[in-house]
Structure 1
Amino acid sequence: MNKHIALFLPSLRGGGAERVMVNLAKAFAKNNFQVDLVLAKAEGPYLSQISSDIRIVDLNASRVALSLFPLAKYLRKNKPFALISALNHANIIAILAAEISLTKIKIIVTEHNTLSRTLLHPANVRTKLMPFFMKLFYPMADHVIAVSNGVADDLSKTLNFSRSKIKVIYNPVVTDDLFEKADEEVDHRWFQDKQYPVILAVGRLTEQKDYPTLIKAFYHVRQQRKAKLVILGDGEKREELLNLVKDMGLEQDVDIIGFVQNPYAYMKRCSVFVLSSKWEGLPTVLVEALACGANVISTDCPSGPREILDNGNYGKLVQVGDVEALTESILRCFSGSYDIDLDKLLSRSNDFHVEKIAREYIDLFRLL
C-alpha cells in the first residue's frame, strides 16, 4: 500500500469537521504516512496547529467549486493512495476531481452532519441542491463514512442510498495534548475567582446551535440563583445573540468570547457544559467536554448526543428547544443532583481517541 494520504477541506476555519481532519492528519503522520493537507484556501485558526511533518497544499481558490481543476492537477501530479474529504460540497468536488484526474486514487468522503435537518434550515441555494449532487456522485466514491449511526441512517434515508454502503467511524476527538491543554490556566475572571457557577457552551454562532434557547434558559436560572454563561464561538448570529442578551438584561452575566484556540481549559473548569443544538452529526465538543470531566447537558437532537452519552448514561439529555427542561437540568447540576464519575467519563471519551479512530481508517485503507 502506498502510504501517501491526502485530506481535502475548504479551509481550516474553526469548526468540528476541520478539527477532526487536523487530528486525523496528525495521527496518520504519527503512523508513518506521508500526509498532505489540501485546502481550497489555506486560511483559518487551525493552520497554526499543523506540524512540520504535514505538508499544506494551498489550492488558492476563492470558492470550493473553483478548486476542482487545481485539485485534479494536484492528484494527477502527486498520486496519493487515497483522498479523504469532509463537508458535502467539498466531497462532491473531491469525487469529480478524482474522475477528471484520470488516476486510480481511492476516494473516501465523510459526512459530519444530519442531512435531513440541514435541509430544513438551508443557508443558501447550494444547500437545497446538495442532495441532488450527492445522489449523483456519492455512489462513485470508494467509501462513504458517517460519523455516527444516526448520520448514517439519515443519509441512507434522505438520499435513498443503501445503508450497507455507509460505514460508521466516530470522529477522532480525544488527543493526548487535549489533557495537557485542559490543565492550562484560563484568562477569564469568572473562571479565576470561582465566585459563581459558570455554564459553558462551545460552537459556532449559527442557527444549528440554538443559543437563544440556552440564553433564555439561563435567564430563568438567574431568576433563582447567581451564575454566569460563557459562549466560545464566532458566526453569523453574533449580533442577534448579543441583542438577545441585552434585551433580557443579561449583559453582566453573559460573555460571548469568540473562537479560542484552547477551549479545553474552560471545559475542565466550568460548572456545567451545555450543548443546545437543534441538530448535529457527532458533536466533537460533547466528547471533549466528557474527556475534560465536565458535567454535561445536551439536547437529544438528531444525531450524536444520544450515542455519545449512551442514552443519558454519561450526561443529561433534554428535548430540543425546551427552555424549561434545560433550566431545570442546569439548576439540578448546580445543586449536585448529578454525580460525576470522572473515570467513567474518561473511559467513554477514549472510544473517540484519535489513535483508535486512525487505526480504523488505516484498516479501511488495507481493504481498498
Structure 2
Amino acid sequence: MKKLLIILHDLGAGGAEKMMTRLAGALVDAGNDVTLLMLTGGGINAAGLDPRVKQVELHSGRSANAVPALAQFLRHNRFDAQLAALTHVNVVAIAAAALSGTLSRLHVSERNAFSHDKYVNPSLRVRLAYWVAPLLYRLIPNPVICVSRGVAEDLVQTTLARRRDVTIADNPVLDNDFRERLLPAPEHHWLRVKTMPVIVAVGRLAHQKGFDTLIDAFARLPQRTVRLIIFGDGTLRAQLLDQARALGVADRVDLPGYTPDPMAQVAAADCFVLSSRFEGSPNALVEALATGTPVIATRCPHGPQDILDDGAVAPLVAVDDPAALAQAISDQLSATSDTRRQTRIDAAARFMNARAVKTYLNALLGSAPP
C-alpha cells in the first residue's frame, strides 16, 4: 500500500476538482492510502469524495499564503507521491515541497490548454503563477502530468517546458461499470416530459465554453420546435439570457444552473453539444459519449480531436462558427437513424476509473497494478 497525497485549492464545481475527487477514490480502490489536501477548503464536489479518502483543509485565505502550512504538513506526513493540480496550486506545491525536502516526490498536473488558460483569470497573483510555472517545470525532477496529448504539446510549444518535462495521464471520468449503470430520471422538466427535441450542453458559463456561439447557432436552426438547456453556473448567465432574448429564442432556452448528475440529463436529450473555444480533456464530452447520446464538438485546442478520433466518432466543427455548428446540429436532429451509438460508448471506455488510474500510478510511482 502506497501513501499518496492530492493537493487542490478546494473542491469547487470545476472539472479539475471533480476529476481529482474521482481519482482519489480510484486510487483507494487500487489499494492505496489516499489523502486529499485543500489549501482553503470545502466545495460542492466534497459530497462526491469517497469516505475512505482522508481530508485535510489548511483554511488559507489565499493559495499563496498556504506555503508555510503546506511545507510543515509535508515535513510531518511523508508520502510516497504527492500530486498537485492547477497551475497556481502547482506553484504553491513546488515551493512547499522545496522547503520541506520532498520535491523528489512531488508531481504537478496541467488540466487545460496552458497558452489559452493563462489569460482567463485576471488576478495578478494567478497571472504571476502562470508566468513562473514553466520555468519551475524545467527545474523540478518529475515531469508535468498533462490530461491529453494536446495539452502536453501546447505546454512544450508555447512555454519553456521541454518534451522530457511532460507526460500524459487520462482523466478518470467514468465508473468501471458505466455500461451497466442505470441512470436516474433527468431533473429538468423539458427532459422528463419531452414535447419536442432537446439539445443539452454542460459547463461553466464562461467565455471558454463558447455558449454564446451555441445560442447563436441554436437561433439559426431551421427546426423551430427544439429546446436548448445549458447546465452550469458562471458569471455570463445574464449575458447569455440577454442574447437569447435578443435572438428571439428565450422561451426555448434555459440555464438552470449546476447539475450533480450531467449524464442523467444528457442521456435523455436528443443531442449534446460541446461549443468550447479551448479545452484540456473535456470531461463533459466523455460523459456524453458514455450515455450513447449523439454529440457534436468544436475542433478546439486540444481535447475533442483526441477523444473523437479526429471526427471518426462524432462530428467536429470549427470554433466560433455558428453557421457550421447550426448545420451540424440540424443534420443530427434530422437523421433518421443512428449507427454510431456503440462507437461513442466504446470511445468513452478509455476514461474508466480502472484504466485511468493505471496511467496515474505509472506517472506517480513508475508502476501500476496488473
Q: TM-score if structure 2 supplies the norm length? A: 0.94
Structure 2 counterpart of 1:172: 172
Is 1:92 matched with 2:99? no
User: What letter corresponds to residue 115 of structure 2 in structure 1?
Assistant: S
Written as runs of structure 1 = structure 2, the 5 A alignment for 1:54-203 is 54-103=53-102, 106-121=105-120, 123-138=122-137, 139-176=139-176, 183-203=183-203
Structure 1 spans left out of the alignment, 5+ residues? none
Q: Structure 1 residues 119 and 238 mapped into 2: Cα distance closer, same or farther (>3 Å)?
A: same
Structure 1 counterpart of 2:276: 277
Q: State the shift of 1:135 in Å.
A: 2.5
Q: State the shift of 1:156 in Å.
A: 0.6
The one-character-per-residue Cα deviations of 1:176-227 (angstroms, maximum 9, x if unpaired) are 4656776101122211222111110000011100111001111112x53211
Q: Structure 1 residues 68 and 336 mapped into 2: Cα distance closer, same or farther (>3 Å)?
A: same
Give me the whole-angstrom Cα distance separating, in 2, the residues matched to 1:163 and 1:337. 46
Q: Structure 1 residues 310 and 330 mapped into 2: Cα distance closer, same or farther (>3 Å)?
A: same
User: What letter corresponds to residue 97 of structure 2 in structure 1?
Assistant: A
Q: Structure 1 residues 177 and 49 mapped into 2: Cα distance closer, same or farther (>3 Å)?
A: farther
Q: Structure 1 residues 119 and 102 mapped into 2: Cα distance closer, same or farther (>3 Å)?
A: closer
Give me the whole-angstrom Cα distance separating, in 2, the residues matched to 1:5 and 1:207. 35
Give me the whole-angstrom Cα distance separating, in 2, the residues matched to 1:181 and 1:46. 21
Task: Choose 57-66 or 322-331, whichever is displaced more.
Answer: 57-66
Structure 2 counterpart of 1:302: 301
Q: Structure 1 residues 88 and 37 mapped into 2: Cα distance closer, same or farther (>3 Å)?
A: same
Q: Structure 1 residues 134 and 314 mapped into 2: Cα distance closer, same or farther (>3 Å)?
A: same
Give yes or no for contact 2:156–2:163 (8 Å, CA) kept in 1: yes
Q: State the shift of 1:167 in Å.
A: 0.7
Q: State the shift of 1:244 in Å.
A: 1.4
Structure 2 counterpart of 1:267: 266
Q: State the shift of 1:69 in Å.
A: 1.4
Structure 2 counterpart of 1:204: 204
Task: Choose 174-183 or 48-57, whichever is displaced more.
Answer: 174-183
Q: Structure 1 residues 151 and 182 mapped into 2: Cα distance closer, same or farther (>3 Å)?
A: farther
How many corresponding residue pairs? 366
SS of the residue corresponding to residue 309 of structure 2 reads: coil
Give me the whole-angstrom Cα distance separating, in 2, the residues matched to 1:16 and 1:310. 22
Q: Structure 1 residues 21 and 216 mapped into 2: Cα distance closer, same or farther (>3 Å)?
A: same
The one-character-per-residue Cα deviations of 1:67-105 (angstroms, maximum 9, x if unpaired) are 211111111111111111111000111111101112365
SS of the residue corresponding to residue 25 of structure 1 reads: helix
Please, what is the CA RMSD of the aligned residues? 1.9
Give yes or no for contact 2:275–2:319 (8 Å, CA) kept in 1: yes
Give me the whole-angstrom Cα distance separating, in 1, the residues matched to 2:14 and 2:182. 19
Give yes or no for contact 1:278–1:299 (8 Å, CA) kept in 2: yes
SS of the residue corresponding to residue 273 of structure 1 reads: strand
The one-character-per-residue Cα deviations of 1:247-294 (angstroms, maximum 9, x if unpaired) are 223222111011111111011111110011111111111111101112
Q: Structure 1 residues 212 and 338 mapped into 2: Cα distance closer, same or farther (>3 Å)?
A: farther
Q: Percent identity?
A: 35
Q: Structure 1 residues 179 and 69 mapped into 2: Cα distance closer, same or farther (>3 Å)?
A: farther
Give me the whole-angstrom Cα distance separating, in 2, the residues matched to 1:338 and 1:281. 31
Give me the whole-angstrom Cα distance separating, in 2, the residues matched to 1:71 and 1:108. 15
Structure 2 counterpart of 1:324: 323
Q: Structure 1 residues 324 and 103 mapped into 2: Cα distance closer, same or farther (>3 Å)?
A: closer
Q: Structure 1 residues 287 and 338 mapped into 2: Cα distance closer, same or farther (>3 Å)?
A: farther
Q: State the shift of 1:172 in Å.
A: 1.4
Q: State the shift of 1:51 in Å.
A: 2.2
SS of the residue corresponding to residue 151 of structure 2 reads: helix
Q: State the shift of 1:136 in Å.
A: 2.6
Give yes or no for contact 1:131–1:159 (8 Å, CA) kept in 2: no
Give yes or no for contact 1:199–1:272 (8 Å, CA) kept in 2: yes
Structure 2 counterpart of 1:360: 359
Is 1:218 matched with 2:218? yes
Give yes or no for contact 1:79–1:105 (8 Å, CA) kept in 2: no
User: What letter corresponds to residue 227 of structure 1 in structure 2?
Assistant: V
User: What letter corresponds to residue 129 of structure 1 in structure 2?
Assistant: L
SS of the residue corresponding to residue 128 of structure 2 reads: helix
Give me the whole-angstrom Cα distance separating, in 1, the residues matched to 2:360 and 2:314. 28
Task: Choose 277-286 or 246-255, whichever is displaced more.
Answer: 246-255
Q: Structure 1 residues 285 and 103 mapped into 2: Cα distance closer, same or farther (>3 Å)?
A: same
Task: Choose 189-198 or 85-94, whichever is displaced more.
Answer: 189-198
Q: State the shift of 1:338 in Å.
A: 7.2
Give yes or no for contact 1:81–1:105 (8 Å, CA) kept in 2: no
Give me the whole-angstrom Cα distance separating, in 2, the residues matched to 1:18 and 1:311. 27
Q: TM-score if structure 1 supplies the norm length? A: 0.94
SS of the residue corresponding to residue 284 of structure 2 reads: helix
Structure 2 spans left out of the alignment, 5+ residues? none
Give me the whole-angstrom Cα distance separating, in 2, the residues matched to 1:200 and 1:4. 40
Structure 2 counterpart of 1:4: 3
